[in-house]
Amino acid sequence: MSRVAKDDCPSSQMRRITNVLTHQPHLTPRDRQSGVGFFCSSARRLILSVLVLAFFLFQSAVSAFDTVVLDPGHGGHDRGASIGYVFEKHLALDTARRVEQLLKQAGLKVIMTRSRDVFIPLPGRAEAGNRYRNAIFVSLHYNYNRGGSGSGVETYYKHSSSYSLAAYIQAYLVQRTRMSNRGVKSASFHVIRNTTRNPAVLVECGFVSNPTERSRMMTGEFRARIAEGVAQGIVAYKKAR
Ligand SMILES: [Zn+2]
């Protein structure tokens, strides 16, 4: 490194950067005569190698994570989907706590945007998703549709870098619960649109409005299975990095 730096070609910084970016030698006849071209080309190769190495290091730094920000949807005055006394905010918090325990057992750090029945505005949730390095953001919700015919689980992402995380969680969630697979979808929900520093997904863990799914999700045994699906998806995603 030091030898190359000492022997670096005498051209201006700007011309060297232009050469690297365009792959054009741009050597003057005098440069060629003096052998400067050799040094320019070795310096160029070195710089390119460093750039390639830096790119891969950056990629692995982006992919590796040790922290999971879990975001149980709604809370406080915001019940989310509700039928009778079954509130989405309670289901989401209970599920997130179960996921939290499983992820901690797997050696991951877990940050909860809320651990109690409190209302957190959406910007505060996305801010938590952006606060930590080497993290992922997973928002947990339960679904609702008029008429109650909707069924199954689905996972949303906004930015393409989050697709893979969504796909892992969705696959394991379906496998673990045997609920119908509504797929991985792109949508512009606030928390996943505004969490830009880290991969971010939003999981809909079944329909509160569907009587059959509602009676299942009211049991701790079934919420435990949902939590296992989400946690296993996250761990499998981490192993695949
Ligand atoms: Zn919700």
- Residue 194, pLDDT > 60, answer yes
Tell me the pLDDT band of 175, cut-offs 50, 70 and 90: very high
Q: Distance, CA 237 to ligand 1 centroid (Å)?
A: 24
- Residue 153, pLDDT > 60, answer yes
Do 215 and 124 reside in the same domain of the chain? yes
Helices 36-63 and 13-22: crossing angle in degrees, nearest 10, is 70
Q: Distance, CA 240 to ligand 1 centroid (Å)?
A: 29
Owning domain of residue 103? 65-239
Q: Distance, CA 73 to ligand 1 centroid (Å)?
A: 5
Q: Distance, CA 89 to ligand 1 centroid (Å)?
A: 8
Do 70 and 55 reside in the same domain of the chain? no
- Residue 193, pLDDT > 90, answer yes
Q: Which of 61, 76, 103 is the last residue of a domain?
A: 61
Average pLDDT over residues 149-173: 98
| Residues sharing a CB contact under 8 Å with residue 11, sequence separation 6 or more, in sequence order | 19, 31, 36, 40
Do 164 and 82 reside in the same domain of the chain? yes
Q: Distance, CA 108 to ligand 1 centroid (Å)?
A: 25
Do 14 and 119 reside in the same domain of the chain? no
Q: Distance, CA 219 to ligand 1 centroid (Å)?
A: 19
Rounded CA separation 210/197 (Å):
35
Which residue matches tokens 């697709």? 163
Do 72 and 46 reside in the same domain of the chain? no
Looking at the structure of the chain, the number of domains it has is 2
Q: Which of 27, 61, 95 is the last residue of a domain?
A: 61
Asked if 148 and 211 count as a contact pair (C-beta separation under 8 A), the reply is yes
Q: Distance, CA 93 to ligand 1 centroid (Å)?
A: 11
pTM summary value: 0.76
pLDDT of residue 1: 37
Do 19 and 130 reside in the same domain of the chain? no
Across the chain, the runs of DSSP E, i.e. the strands, are 67-72, 82-83, 86-87, 109-112, 135-143, 153-157, 181-186, 200-207
Q: Which of 61, 77, 112 is the last residue of a domain?
A: 61
Do 15 and 95 reside in the same domain of the chain? no
Do 148 and 74 reside in the same domain of the chain? yes
Q: What is the CATH number of the domain that holds 131?
A: 3.40.630.40
Share of the chain above pLDDT 70, in %: 74
Q: What is the pLDDT of residues 78-137, one digit of tens each?
A: 999 999 999 999 999 999 999 999 999 999 999 999 999 999 999 999 999 999 999 999
Q: Distance, CA 66 to ligand 1 centroid (Å)?
A: 26
Do 45 and 148 reside in the same domain of the chain? no
- Residue 149, pLDDT > 80, answer yes
Asked if 218 and 86 count as a contact pair (C-beta separation under 8 A), the reply is yes
What letter would DSSP give residue 1?
-
pLDDT greater at residue 225 or residue 62: 225
Q: Distance, CA 186 to ligand 1 centroid (Å)?
A: 16
For the purposes of burial, counting CB atoms within 10 Å of the CB of 79, is it exposed (0-12), middle (13-18) or buried (19 or more)?
Answer: middle
Do 125 and 214 reside in the same domain of the chain? yes
Do 45 and 161 reside in the same domain of the chain? no
Of the chain, the end-to-end C-alpha distance in Å amounts to 31
Tell me the pLDDT band of 47, cut-offs 50, 70 and 90: low
β partners of residue 185: 156
Do 36 and 138 reside in the same domain of the chain? no
